[in-house]
Chains A and B, each alone.
Chain A
Amino acid sequence: MHAQPTLQKNLHLQFLARNMMQGFPARYLSQDASQPWLLFWALQSFSALQVGLDPDNRQRSISKIMSWQHSNGGFAGGPGQSPHLLPTYAAVCALAIVGRPGPGGGWDEVDRQKLYDFFMSLKEPDGSFRVAEHMEVDVRGIYCLLVTASLLNIMTPELVEGTATFLASCQTYEGGFSSASHPFYSIETDRVLRSPRPNLGEAHGGYTFCALASWIILQNYLNLDPGTIHPSDSSSRKTPAEEQWSNELTTERPRIDIKRLTRWLVNMQGSEIELGGFRGRTNKLVDGCYSWWCGGSFALLESLGIGGLQNLTAKDVEIDEVVDADQPPDNSGREQHEGWDDIDESLFDRKALQEYILLAGQHPAGGLRDKPPKNADLYHTLYCLSGLSAAQHHIYSSHTRKAETLAEWKDEDSPNNALQKAVFADLVSWVEEEGTSRVIGPSNSNRLNATHPLTNLTITHTEAILKYFYGQDIPPRPFIKTGASKK
């Protein structure tokens, strides 16, 4: 048997440390307007690799992040630049990793009211958002906005009204999602028409992840009882906006075609000759970054009831045995992953994806990449690692944990209490059961930290920032043995 593929953790840590401490070579100049991303990619890569920064570098990171906050709210790509939804997500996620409450910790210095006002200033009549003033509308910006608003507890029905309808309109005939769709407005009523609603661009892995994660966050809004939003206005005349809320929450609930989405997603995984990596569009080549954008989408699909052991019944398991009975006994490599099939009910090939990242995604000089012979960069380093983590760990949204969290919620005297409660419980509900991870290669050294499927932060970092900004208790987690070697 050939040597097991190894994750070169030390080389990758050196690659990250080199960039963090010595700085980025001049070719990274093109990322000058994405400075929060560079820092987030590096910090989250460290987190995935189970390494934290020392206090001095944490503090330097916090100072740098806070220099990107704009006086009008939101975070910019660098000091003196304009606020923009994408760097706002990256900056807030970076703060979730290195920040803390109290003076100099960053968390209390985020101006949440101004951030909320900034978000509202970008909203379009069709429920979408521009990424910055005058700039384009697309589903990446919406994902960034929703994750940020969820983590910082500034979500309101007003903020997300119409957004789910917009997202649904971005699903293409192939099943994945496009960057955006073009709205047509009725001349008589000035309201956006349901149809035609053409997609701008084809189905794409990055946009699909963003749309699907956003869709899941917005279920918390769509599932609200309309009565909890307007408890007293049944007799009064509703404004057009309120009219639309109640429509969206009752009769005209937006829908996506999950079956078609599932089919498209599984078809993004390349065959054995492509080593099982993921592509981002039909008929394009596989690329390591889609390990996360596509590979990471399967955990999200599971929360919609598609795939995953938690969604199976006893009868389903019998059906599996029927399928396998037809297959000749296969001894090639099956023994070494004994028990794999018993617990793996993911709809993609988790083993093959791990092999792609380990065999093709690692650059020999450290860092991860699209594919050979490309160079490593921070973007690919994080999304290869996140994808590898998603293929190792089975993280799912547990109904039990959600119920526990809801039961412990202390009501707030806020008109948004119902939505805040739902968002909080949803984010806290993701769990990993002991013994369900499957690691290709030497498992004590190849294992990564699990990543939260919605935020792409670790579960620990996600819960810490939620706990602070919601001021709520989080039910304790059963201890999971990670088998990780501490550095």
Chain B
Amino acid sequence: MNTEQKQEKLLFAERPEWSDVDPIPQYETSTPIAPILYTPQYKDATDYFRAIVKSGERSERVLQLTEELIRLNPAHYTAWQYRYETLLALSSSLQTELELMNELAIKYLKTYQVWHHRRLLITLLRTPQPELQFIETCLRVDSKNYHTWSYRQWLLSHFVDDDDLWRGELEFIENVIGDDVRNNSAWHHRYFVVFGCGVRSGSEDRARIVRRELIFTKQNISLAPNNPSAWNYLRGILDYNRLPYSLCTRFVKPYTLPLDPNTVDIVDLENPPPSRGAELPCVYAIEFLADIHEKAGDKDNILKGVDLWKSLANEHDTIRKKYWEHRIREALQSAT
């Protein structure tokens, strides 16, 4: 056992190099209501941390203390905050800090602070490129982690002019969706890449982009029709580009009916049919078709929409009965 390992077993109260510090206990009264029953190790570290915050010390040993405290409780935001300020005050190597974060982020994937600290470091280091690989590693552990995805989106936004950083993004997200077509975080990321960040050079031909996205989405719906992520994305494409939903009428219709056992395999990129074994009719398709009818606005169409909503309310999507009734009311009111 080397000295470093041995020292980690010692409480701060037992370490000679901390003997000049008077630890500060948390509560003056001995019996606060609703106490947390801390471990001796945690109590010791936080007693010393409070003393350091009070004295305002910035030193190497503060980095050691905050690291140990963070390992005991990675959600201790004050320890992170104090650590960040100390790193700056000491002009410490941020690269070394980032390497430490590589270990801690995977360990404590679900805490806000590991990800935010990383943002602070990368903002100063301006080294976004290796982050992409790191994020992919984290996504292999948890493919829907909210912090990990927001971090990737922050990175791409913050370095929005870095073409090298952005180069492989569409291919990356294509693969993630390919791995799990129901991963909504991935669909959201696709929207971020294609529409959310503005027009990148090389993608000025918006008609081509829209066509590509529609084909991609329809194919994914064809493979797994009851996937709300893909339907929401389809709506997202049309809404963002102010295109009418009726562009998709021919595509949507087969999904609103029971599966036709006599479907022949045809390759139609614009209107891929439901795959064999698909569970139909699909609620999202019925809803989509009803929206098309509502938008058309004339009485005949409104009534067709109402029939579709009724079928959702009473048969296919009964948990949302009240919502479908609300849609019927809205449509009938605007029609009169």
Q: CB within 8 Å of B: which residues of A? A: 19-21, 23-26, 28-35, 38-39, 42, 57, 60-61, 63-64, 67, 76-82, 84, 132-136, 172-174, 178-180, 182, 184, 195-196, 198-204, 260, 262, 266-267, 269-272, 276, 281-284, 306-307, 312, 315-316, 319-320, 322-323, 326-327, 344-349, 352
B39: contacting residue among A26, A35, A199, A316, CB under 8 A: A26
Known: A23-B37, A29-B72, A348-B323. A282 touches B32 (CB 8 A): no
Question: Known: A346-B322, A347-B326. Is A31-B54 also a contact (CB below 8 A)?
Answer: no
Closest Cβ neighbor of B69 among chain A residues: A32
Known: A282-B228, A326-B314. A349 touches B188 (CB 8 A): no
Known: A173-B236, A202-B185. A323 touches B37 (CB 8 A): no
Binds A, one of B14-22, B149-157, B250-258: B149-157
A32 touches B239 (CB 8 A): no
CB pair A64 B77 closer than 8 Å: no
Kindly provide the distance from the CB of B90 to the nearest chain A CB, expressed in whole angstroms: 16
Q: Does B131 sit within 8 A of A, measured CB to CB?
A: no
Task: Say yes or no for B172: interface residue by CB 8 A criterion.
Answer: no
Residues of A contacting B: mostly? loop
Task: List 21 A-B residue pairs with CB atoms under 8 Å apart, sorted by A's residue number.
Answer: A21-B33, A24-B34, A32-B76, A38-B36, A57-B33, A67-B28, A67-B32, A77-B76, A136-B112, A136-B119, A172-B188, A173-B233, A182-B157, A200-B154, A201-B188, A269-B319, A282-B232, A283-B184, A326-B314, A327-B314, A349-B321
Chain B, range 268-288, C-beta contacts under 8 Å to A: none
Q: Write out the residue numbers on chain B whose beta carbons fall within 8 Å of the beta carbon of A204.
A: 146
Task: Report whether A76 and B78 are in contact in the complex, using a CB–CB cutoff of 8 Å.
Answer: yes
Contact between A173 and B191, CB atoms less than 8 A apart: yes
Q: Is the CB of A323 within 8 A of B313?
A: yes
Partner of A32, one of B28, B32, B42, B240: B42
Question: How many chain B residues touch the partner (CB < 8 A)?
Answer: 82
Chain A residues with CB under 8 A of B197: 196, 198
Candidates B34, B54, B144; contact of A20 at CB < 8 Å: B34
A33, A179, A262, A345: the one contacting B73 at CB < 8 Å is A33
Say how far B306's CB is from chain A's closest CB, in angstroms.
8
A33: contacting residue among B76, B116, B191, CB under 8 A: B76
CA distance A346 to B36 in the complex (A): 40
Report yes or no: A179 in contact with B150, Cβ–Cβ below 8 A. Answer: yes
Which residue in chain A gives the minimum CB-CB distance to B239? A173
**Cβ A34 vs Cβ B75 within 8 A:** yes
For the A-B complex, the count of residue pairs with Cβ-Cβ distances under 8 Å equals 222
Instruction: Report the Cα distance A40→B184, complex, angstroms.
Output: 32
Q: Does B332 contact A (CB under 8 A)?
A: yes
A270's closest neighbor in chain B, by CB? B319
Report whether A271 and B319 are in contact in the complex, using a CB–CB cutoff of 8 Å: yes
Measured CA separation A20–B120 after assembly (Å): 37
Q: How far is the CB of B29 from chain A (nearest CB, A)?
A: 7
Find chain A residues with CB under 8 A from B33 CB. Answer: 20-21, 39, 57, 60-61, 64
Our pick among A32, A82, A267, A347 for the contact of B46 (Cβ within 8 Å) is A32
Chain B residues lying within 8 Å of A57, measured Cβ to Cβ, are: 33
Contacts A38-B34, A134-B81, A316-B329; is A347 near B323 (CB within 8 Å)? yes
Q: How far is the CB of B105 from chain A (nearest CB, A)?
A: 15
Contacts of A312 in B (CB 8 A): 329
Q: Which residue in B46, B73, B182, B322 is a CB contact (below 8 Å) of A283?
A: B182
Q: Which residues does chain A contribute within 8 Å of B240, judged by CB atoms?
A: 173
B-chain residues with CB within 8 Å of residue A33 when the two chains form the complex: 73, 75-78
When the two chains form the complex, which single residue of B26, B38, B233, B333 contacts A79, counting CB atoms closer than 8 Å?
B26
Does B210 lie at the interface of the complex (its beta carbon under 8 Å from any beta carbon of A)? no
CB closest residue in chain B, given A275: B319
Return the CB mask of B105-135 against A: 1 if under 8 Å, else 0: 0000000100010011000000000000000
In the complex, the chain A residue whose C-beta lies closest to that of B320 is A266
Which residues of B lie under 8 Å from residue A182 when comparing CB positions? 153-154, 157-158
Is B296 an interface residue when CB atoms closer than 8 A count as contact? no
CA–CA, A82 and B36, complex, Å: 19
Cα distance, A442 to B322, chains bound together (Å)? 25
Give the distance in Å from the alpha carbon of A266 to the alpha carbon of B322 in the complex.
Answer: 9
- Whether B67 is near chain A, meaning CB under 8 Å from some CB there, is no
Q: In whole angstroms, what is the CA distance A110 to B72 when docked? A: 32
Name A323's contact: one of B28, B191, B310 (CB within 8 Å): B310
Question: Which chain A residues border B185 with CB–CB below 8 Å?
Answer: 202, 281
- A20-B34, A78-B26, A173-B236 given; A283·B227 CB < 8 A: yes
Given contacts A134-B81, A173-B232, A201-B149, contact A80 B53 (CB under 8 A): yes
* 8 Å CB contact of B37 from A25, A63, A77, A201: A25
Q: Does B183 contact A (CB under 8 A)?
A: yes
Chain B: minimal CB distance from A298 (Å): 10
Cβ of B85 within 8 Å of any chain A Cβ, yes or no, is: yes
The 6 A-B residue pairs with the shortest CB-CB distance, nearest first, are A173-B236, A202-B188, A196-B198, A80-B50, A182-B157, A198-B196
Chain B residue, CB-CB nearest to A65: B33
